[in-house]
Structure 1
Amino acid sequence: MSEVRTNITIVDNGNGDEPQISYTDNRTFASVLDARLARRTVLKSTAGAAALGFMSLGLAGCLDSSSSSSRRSPGAGEGEGGPLVTFKAVPTSESDEIIVPEGYSYQVILPWGTPITGSMPAFDLANTGEEQGMQMGSHHDGMHFFPIEGEEPFEGSSDEGLLVMNHEYVEPRFMHLDHIGQELGSGAVIMKGDVRDRDQALKEINAHGVSVVHIRKRSDNRWELVQSDYNRRITGRTHMELAGPVRGSDLVRTKYSPDGIATRGTLNNCAMGVTPWNTYMAAEENWAGYFRNRDAEIPREHANYGIRANDSRYRWALAEGGEDEFIRFDATSTGASATEDYRNEPNCFGWMVEIDPFDPDSTPIKRTTLGRFGHEGVVFGPAIEGQPVVCYSGDDSTNQFIYKFVSEQPFQKGVTDGSILDTGILYVAKFNDDGSGEWLPLVYGQNGLDAGNGFRDQADVLVNTRLAAGLMGATPMDRPEWGAVDPNNGDVYFTLTNNSGRSEPNGANPRTQNRHGHIIRWQEANGNHASTTFDWDIFIFGGDAGESGQANLAGKDANGDALTADNLLSSPDGLWIDKDSRVWIQTDIGEGNQNSGVFEVFGNNAMLCADPATGEMRRFLTGPIGQEVTGVITTPDQKTMFINIQHPGATTTPQEWAAGQRYVRSTWPDRNPVRVPPRSATVVIWKDDGGVIGT
């Protein structure tokens, strides 16, 4: 173990989330919701309820284990018409364990630091920055299992494939030897005078990004890493191209790419997407906190995303040596033009990044037509031959918006590739009081998106997507996060994680603060995902069942019934719908709130499963201490599930850290508190009888 450095300063930059921007001229979602549910209450008692279609059911009748057992039929959940959710719910938990239902087993694989490529350096806290670039990144997040045939994203082998996953951010105190014994909170870094240690900064950059890992199932249901040319790390310093209308724009010209066609790295990759042509889309979410700008006047493409004069999240721009790959995180104007500094570097982030997992030599591409904001992820509608490609994305910040992209060109199986995302229209959602909705086009020259409001061209509209959406009158939402599309009926779901700053109550869920979030869903007009109108409803409201003593915080389903001990939840975040239409919901109660106050009743973060046809919802899994459950996918046969556990032990206090109690909160998954910190990792889950996950 190395000595603790002298002449150091501890800097705690918080969690780096983007600012909560309020558009005071737009209707709040609370006011829209109130009117919508009041109207629906009337319709439920009339023949008009039939006209609501998919919205008339809601998530009703949250039954206990015994009541659902009596309704179970042979082959349930395997395409024979039986109930989809038949496992016994697990209770809430505050233990440092993974807990799955009776009859299920799990395995932990691919924790942060697992060697996957290059010289295969074994994990050690003394690993260098270069070695980290050959290992699994940190803070596992959204992911997908690509069957090894490489032909279809959801069909093919269930025994071998490429697991591709995001690594959202890092926790420096768990990464560096000289951070041991210091009073450090989550996210804090140590300075050496006025600079950061170069190798520590490099290690943190290389722990971001995406991992592509070849894995294979053994005969005992356990999975193993395959040494393969497919294995790859894409990090915060990987060369990438820009595509779409922003490519070549003056807004993205930098010293690294004077012609504005390239950049380095991807950061804060949260959720993801899978294209119909079998590639992976990594989202760039809370990227703004990685930059600083000390100019006297900060441009709107920085200010509207939270870039300020204060030092950035990890102070990479101050890495000793002053190398270009670190200086780029300082967006202050220092040269005579943009091609002599990095004033435009932040404009190269906030995009969806397309990666071909089956071509390890391919260059990742940032698809700018999908807009620049805090992308939580992207979810594609069904790809239909001869029709446009449609995908949805949420901007994960309070009072931000939900977007949809519709391609200009039609989908052609076997021909279409990622270039189809470079031409088309980006829309933003407006939710009307009467349960209808509109998609508003963000097109230069239309509806005020012109020189009168400071827009020069379509590239300017896309770089300033948030501003354009606000000017159009889009509905500010309560932190839009993951989206999902039901593969059987096309319904679109989005999690709205929370908004503790809401001051207006609503009739259906009468709380003055949306601390626990909800899930919204909609159906496009005539079942056409390219439509410009839709009908919407609320799928579920998060919250407790009154145990906290604050009845106004009680969670309710769409019909007004309280959630039960088997399914209460707070802060829905991760979301996925499997091929049988099970809705998988993952929670992300923040580090500062877990197991305390009104959040105590929810225990550790968890994953639940809902059947929208019957209304059943049950808790399927609880995670260890301090973590977030995130990322979910099954193999094509639905008999193996992969989920990620992110930042276990993150609730460790600075005082505990300084006292040498580094792992007092969590030792998951290694159980080696002497040498190994808590590590983000992937969990493989299977049913002991070989059945479908969820039954």
Structure 2
Amino acid sequence: MPKDYERMEWSNRSERADLRSLCDLSRRRVLQGGTAAALAALGLAPASASSSGLLGFRGVPPSTADTVVVPEGYVAQVIAAWGEPVGLAGHMPPWRSDASHSAADQAAQLGMHHDGLHFFPLEGRSDRGLLVMNHEYADEGLLHPDGMTNWSAEKVRKSQAAHGISVVEVEERGGRWQLVRPSRYARRLTAFSPFALRGPAAGHPMMRTAADPAGRTVLGTLNNCAAGLTPWGTYLSGEENFNGYFAAPKQLDAHQRRWGLDADWGYRWHAFDERFDAARHPHEPNRFGWIVEVDPFDPQSVPVKRTALGRAAHEGATVAVTRDGRAVVYSGEDARFEYLYKFVSRDAIRPGGAKVNAELLDHGTLYVARFDADGRGRWLPLVHGRGPLTPANGFADQGQVLIQARQASDALRATPMDRPEWVAVNATTREVFCSLTNNTRRGTEGHPGVDAAHPRARNSMGHIIRWREEGDFDGETFTWDVFLLAGDPANPRPEAQGNIRGDAFANPDGLWVDARGVLWIQTDMSARVMGRGEFARLGNNQMLACDPTTGEVRRFLTGPRGAEITGATMTPDGTSMFVNIQHPGEPDNDRSDPAEPTKHSRWPDGGRPRSATVVVRRRDGGVVGA
């Protein structure tokens, strides 16, 4: 779907007090004193500029080349590109460079626009395992030989098949990784695969449709973005900006308007699959925007949409574990002025894997974050009957609170944020990080102004926020700081210079903490701005490594032209890192030129640009990043 978020409509119209006067001191501390002073003031980390030795590579310079660049002593290998067969026995249609493969073929092939992913080792091995990955959206101009013209039921079916989730088996042989095909684990979940609804909103009247009067089975998952791993061995996938897939009614009600159902992203699904016509099926959009749980080791299992975790434009889901063994799931909502959530399970994780924990995420408490100007924050419970979440205010029951999590968060006066995306947890230090990619409407007329957690108006560069729960991960209060402000120190606009200690970058998106404690940062500058204006010196999108103790940042990888860098995972021994390269060649607001599909990029194989997974290794076989 279009990534031009600066042109997307802001759907959060709730009125709030402007915190500008409350947070000037905190804002000046971040902008003038820098990250170190803020950290020291909050007692979160020492204000030291010395390297701890976590980053053992020489950073690479910015690049505008149509290739992947990694540090000296490293090698990057491309595997699992869009259109490669996932390995279903008896159905392995090959990639066709003119994109003439059918919808049925695409349903057995890796989808478009790889996003979050995770490596699941087989028998604890580091040379063989499963890669599970999301496919966020489809570029119709690349997906079909004739682009976005001549829409048909077959083209819609192919587009739906290019979405979803893939499970592939991979193996290292002779120093190179490859797909194992056929594989008994291979699987494709698409926009027409069945998913079970579980939790408090399952069966709710707002989830029932003519095709599913029980409200307990949904066809499809879409716009799957970031990914998470559960301690019991399953994969979590966030359904992000689902609203642009639906044809909206001519007159939207307040609920539909609050969820941005009037977006138009060019998909024509509703013309050939009527469930995407919200005028005819107004409850169908309520069945998307959930966290999906998949058991990668059981291809016959039915994946589940976990409604207890709330409905949102979920970027993803990151799991922490309390000291008494309960699961805590953090999730950001990738939309301007939307919210950051936390779910705490009622029960402890049980040994025995996915089957014995099949209902763990159906019972617990969902919270939304409020960041206060004094460096403290509070998790506000989204529980029916508490505070304003009552029938008198339009919340009939807990199911409605979860389906209308945005409206419930509005009512609780949670903090509207600058596109909170990936969340990363350091289980050792118990610090939690969240990327806030950008929001150029911050502080402009008719929109919320700056506040302590968002200290820059017209936030074009983005930042990363950090907090530590008071007590355990299930705590209802926390202390927080702005970990770093992204930007370019040579930018003529002071507010866009940032305070990075090391290599400059903009628009942080993907975050991941590895086993050594390195915070990996991935960027998502849109094609509209990449390499231009105040972003010109930053080059293509990139992946950086940060030592959270010192704040030092080094650029580790740069991507091909027009691509986003997203998703990171390693083998258990840390010697192979898997990273996704999404939408190489994405041009400015135009991904639909069938006559010239390669005019912006020819990555990775010299023809039609294709999203793909890259495996990064040290030539000496050592731990990546060390």
SS in 2 for 1:381: strand
Q: Give how far 1:33 is off.
A: 5.6
Please show how residues 361-440 of structure 1 align to structure 2 within 5 Å. 361-382=300-321, 384=323, 386-414=324-352, 416-440=356-380
Distance in 1 of aligned mates of 2:2 and 2:117 = 27
Call closer, same or farther: CA 1:445–1:83 in 2, change over 3 Å. Answer: same
Q: Look up the match of 2:234.
A: 279
Distance in 2 of aligned mates of 1:538 and 1:630 = 22
Q: Does the alignment pair 1:115 with 2:115?
A: no
Q: Look up the match of 1:52.
A: 42
Q: Does the alignment pair 1:481 with 2:436?
A: no
Call closer, same or farther: CA 1:23–1:536 in 2, change over 3 Å. Answer: farther
Please show how residues 457-468 of structure 1 align to structure 2 within 5 Å. 457-468=397-408
Call closer, same or farther: CA 1:229–1:54 in 2, change over 3 Å. Answer: same
Q: Does the alignment pair 1:549 with 2:484?
A: no
Please show how residues 185-224 of structure 1 align to structure 2 within 5 Å. 189-190=148-149, 192=150, 196-224=151-179
Q: Deviations over 1:5-29 (max 9, x none)?
A: xxxxxxx988688632345533568
Conserved 8 A contact 2:527-2:588: no
Q: Give how far 1:501 is off.
A: 1.0
**Which letter maps to 1:525?**
E
Q: Look up the match of 2:573.
A: 637
SS in 2 for 1:514: coil
Q: Which runs of 5+ in 2 are unaligned?
A: 444-448
Q: Give how far 1:99 is off.
A: 0.2
Q: Deviations over 1:229-252 (max 9, x none)?
A: 100000000011100011111111
| Aligned partner (choices 386, 389, 397) of residue 449 of structure 1 | 389
Query: Greater Rg, structure 1 or structure 2?
Result: 1
Q: Look up the match of 2:560.
A: 624
**Which letter maps to 1:119?**
H
Conserved 8 A contact 2:4-2:589: no
Conserved 8 A contact 2:134-2:165: yes
Q: Percent identity?
A: 43
Q: Does the alignment pair 1:533 with 2:477?
A: yes
**Which letter maps to 2:484?**
I
Conserved 8 A contact 1:488-1:579: no
Per mean C-alpha deviation after superposition, the further-off stretch among 29-38 and 299-308 is 29-38
**Which letter maps to 1:375?**
H
Q: Look up the match of 1:343.
A: 282
Call closer, same or farther: CA 1:115–1:533 in 2, change over 3 Å. Answer: same
Call closer, same or farther: CA 1:258–1:32 in 2, change over 3 Å. Answer: farther
Q: Look up the match of 2:526.
A: 590
Distance in 2 of aligned mates of 1:41 and 1:361 = 53
Q: Look up the match of 2:116.
A: 142
Distance in 1 of aligned mates of 2:526 and 2:19 = 22
Q: Look up the match of 1:356.
A: 295
Conserved 8 A contact 2:523-2:541: yes
Please show how residues 504-583 of structure 1 align to structure 2 within 5 Å. 504=449, 511-526=456-471, 528-546=472-490, 548-557=491-500, 563-564=501-502, 567-583=503-519
Q: Look up the match of 1:689.
A: 620
Conserved 8 A contact 2:140-2:591: no
Q: Does the alignment pair 1:176 with 2:107?
A: no
Q: Give how far 1:424 is off.
A: 1.0
Conserved 8 A contact 2:453-2:481: no
Call closer, same or farther: CA 1:162–1:508 in 2, change over 3 Å. Answer: closer
Call closer, same or farther: CA 1:652–1:311 in 2, change over 3 Å. Answer: closer
Q: Give how far 1:50 is off.
A: 6.5
Q: Deviations over 1:408-465 (max 9, x none)?
A: 1122222751311111110000001110100000111111111121111111111100
Conserved 8 A contact 2:349-2:357: no
Conserved 8 A contact 1:652-1:664: no
Conserved 8 A contact 2:467-2:478: yes
Q: Look up the match of 2:446.
A: none
Distance in 2 of aligned mates of 1:496 and 1:585 = 12
Conserved 8 A contact 1:522-1:537: yes
**Which letter maps to 2:91?**
S
Q: Give how far 1:553 is off.
A: 1.4
Q: Which runs of 5+ in 1 are unaligned?
A: 1-11, 69-81, 150-155, 180-188, 320-325, 334-341, 558-562
Conserved 8 A contact 1:43-1:49: no
Q: Give how far 1:538 is off.
A: 1.0
| Aligned partner (choices 653, 657, 669) of residue 604 of structure 2 | 669
Q: Give how far 1:498 is off.
A: 0.4
Distance in 1 of aligned mates of 2:39 and 2:411 = 35
SS in 1 for 2:345: strand
SS in 2 for 1:599: helix
Q: Look up the match of 1:71.
A: none
Q: Give how far 1:534 is off.
A: 0.3
Conserved 8 A contact 1:27-1:475: no
Please show how residues 37-76 of structure 1 align to structure 2 within 5 Å. 37-38=27-28, 52-57=42-47, 61=49
Conserved 8 A contact 2:562-2:601: yes
| Aligned partner (choices 15, 18, 23) of residue 25 of structure 1 | 15
Q: Look up the match of 1:560.
A: none
SS in 2 for 1:211: strand
Conserved 8 A contact 1:437-1:535: yes
Conserved 8 A contact 2:11-2:260: no
Distance in 2 of aligned mates of 1:234 and 1:646 = 19
**Which letter maps to 1:314?**
Y
Per mean C-alpha deviation after superposition, the further-off stretch among 167-176 and 414-423 is 414-423
Conserved 8 A contact 2:453-2:482: no
Q: Give how far 1:507 is off.
A: 9.6
SS in 1 for 2:111: coil
**Which letter maps to 1:539?**
F
Distance in 1 of aligned mates of 2:393 and 2:22 = 27
Conserved 8 A contact 1:162-1:213: yes
Conserved 8 A contact 1:398-1:499: yes
Conserved 8 A contact 2:528-2:589: no
Q: Deviations over 1:48-91 (max 9, x none)?
A: 9867332453xx63x7xxxx6xxxxxxxxxxxxx6110200000
SS in 1 for 2:408: helix
Distance in 1 of aligned mates of 2:169 and 2:400 = 40
Conserved 8 A contact 1:509-1:541: no
The alignment's TM-score, normalised by the length of structure 1, stands at 0.84
Q: State the number of aligned residues.
A: 614
Q: Deviations over 1:563-616 (max 9, x none)?
A: 54xx10100000000011100000000121111111111100000000112332
| Aligned partner (choices 104, 111, 119) of residue 74 of structure 2 | 104
Q: Give how far 1:379 is off.
A: 0.6
Distance in 2 of aligned mates of 1:632 and 1:651 = 24
Q: Look up the match of 2:245.
A: 290
Distance in 2 of aligned mates of 1:13 and 1:411 = 38
Please show how residues 127-138 of structure 1 align to structure 2 within 5 Å. 127-138=101-112
**Which letter maps to 2:217?**
A
| Aligned partner (choices 311, 314, 317) of residue 270 of structure 2 | 317
**Which letter maps to 2:44?**
F
**Which letter maps to 1:121?**
P
Call closer, same or farther: CA 1:481–1:408 in 2, change over 3 Å. Answer: same
